[in-house]
Structure 1
Amino acid sequence: MRTRLGSPWVGVAAAALLLAGCGGGAEPGGSDEIAGVGEGAGAASPEASSAGDGIVRPEVSLPQGDQLVFDPRETGDARTDAVLHDNAEYLRAIDEAIGHQDPGSKAVSFYSKGSAHLGSVDWIGGFVKDGTTVTGTVRYTGREVTFSEDGSAGLTYCADESKGYTKDIKTKKTDVTPATKDSYVFYSDRLRKNAKGVWQTTKSTSERGSKACRP
């Protein structure tokens, strides 16, 4: 059975995701755009902006029993907090799409494009194929943002998946797996602000079992 520990987030060649070490990241100054990918923002179901920036955003709801914790959620710096907010909503949108069994999620495309969007579609599709959803708690900690001269933002963070599981949709049975070093993942993401003012995640590199993220 597919679990979060074996998700295509790490090492999906078809989605052009790169498996990297802790120093890994997207190429500075490079183009993050792939034509026709992640451009479905206008069709998203609207809600008042939770970021306080006036942008009409899709409403995102996590599957029952699923919880994502983000630390820090904000820093007090408006530009940094906008990046943190939109990346968190992107991760939440992925879990929502898994719960709805919807690889074509408009919320996911609202918050991502490029190789990150392709990887998300592939990952969500794997859960659909297996007939599973997500449950439990995943914690994203040590979230740090840096800005590049080309206008993009880099975001690094750790994911603690030790309490995150999959659940069979038909039987409702949760696949509780023991925590191992691979339950801890280091991520290095690249984001770009689109014309609507949304910080879309465009690339993601990762190292599963990273010493930097293990307790």
Structure 2
Amino acid sequence: MRNHKATTAAAALAAAGALLLTGCGGDSKGADSKKIAGADSGSSASAAPSASASGAADAANRPKVTPPAGEELSFDPEKTGDPIKDAVLGDNAEYVRAVDEAIANQDAKAPSVAFYAKDDALVGAMQWIASVTKQDVSITGTIRYFDRQVSIRQDGAATLTYCGDETKGFTKDRKTGKVNVTPANSDSYISYALVLRKNDKGVWQVTKLSSVRGDKKCQP
């Protein structure tokens, strides 16, 4: 998500001493970067409300999330065939949607964000949402997440890496409706590295994450 007025989600958070994953990219290094403090504890999308990551029968009672009008998100792959890895991918996609929804609603304390993050990761998300709210912009266009790869660690945590393509994703002025279109370049591509842990409700929550804007491995 690129424009002249608002920096990317993770880049803005870097100024606050933390990074998080949203519908935009960022600038940092390493999934366990000291800039990103963690906490313990899906699927292609459009502006339509998302289904829960676990389907209709959801014991965790996942919230219904509605990304900003005019924004489309895609996640590739949506599933791997492994039920544990698929749950990680699903909950992470819902986290991305939840943060973008909170930006659209100008609600830094959105319960849906707290559902998918906690502790310092949640604090970082709230700081980022608040910073965007002050700039009075929302998100529009298409953002593509691809090459999503999950590994389950011996301690039960999951690591997730993937790339983001923001060549068609932008911010939009909430008052005028003007889309802040900027040309695509190498910085339109971002690599992400996350650590997630499953809480007692079975939800995979983001605990740590970092991103590298302009990473060559994500560029075409």
TM over 0.5: yes
Cα separation, partners in 2 of 1:158 and 1:118, compared to 1, 3 Å:
same
Residue 67 and residue 8 in structure 1: after superposition, are their counterparts in 2 closer, same or farther (change >3 A)? closer
Structure 2 residue 8 is matched with structure 1 residue 7: yes
Match of 1:143 in 2: 148
Q: Secondary structure at the match of 2:96?
A: helix
Name stretches of at least 5 consecutive residues in structure 2 with no aligned partner: 21-26, 42-49
2:31 alignment counterpart: 25
Q: Distance in 2 between matches of 1:48 and 1:138?
A: 19
**Per-residue deviation, residues 146-199 of structure 1 (Å, max 9, x unmatched):** 111111100000000111100111101111111111110000001010111100
CA contact (8 A) 1:191 1:201 kept: yes
| TM-score for the superposition, normalised by structure 2 | 0.82
Measure, in 2, the Cα distance between the counterparts of 1:73 and 1:111: 18
Query: Structure 2 counterpart of 1:112, which letter?
Result: A
Indicate how the Cα distance of structure 1 residues 70 and 48 shifts in structure 2: closer, same or farther if over 3 A, else same. closer
Q: TM-score normalised to the size of structure 1?
A: 0.84
Alignment counterpart, residue 16 of structure 1, candidates 18, 22, 26: 18
Q: Is the 8 A contact 2:77 2:148 kept in 1?
A: yes
Where do residues 125-144 of structure 1 align in structure 2 (5 Å cutoff)?
125-144=130-149
CA contact (8 A) 2:65 2:94 kept: yes
1:50 to partner: Cα distance = 4.3
Tell me, what secondary structure is at the counterpart of 1:2?
A: coil
The 8 Å contact of residues 59 and 201 in structure 2, kept in 1 or not, is answered as no
* Structure 1 segment 168-179 matched on structure 2, within 5 A: 168-179=173-184
Name the SS for the 1:144 alignment partner.
strand
What count of residue pairs does the alignment treat as equivalent?
197
1:7 CA drift (Å): 1.9
Comparing 134-143 with 118-127, greater Cα deviation is found at 118-127
Are 2:99 and 1:117 equivalent residues in the alignment?
no
Could you tell me which runs of 5 or more consecutive residues in structure 1 were left unpaired when the two chains were aligned: 39-46
Residue 63 (1) aligns with residue 63 (2): no
Shift of 1:8: 4.0
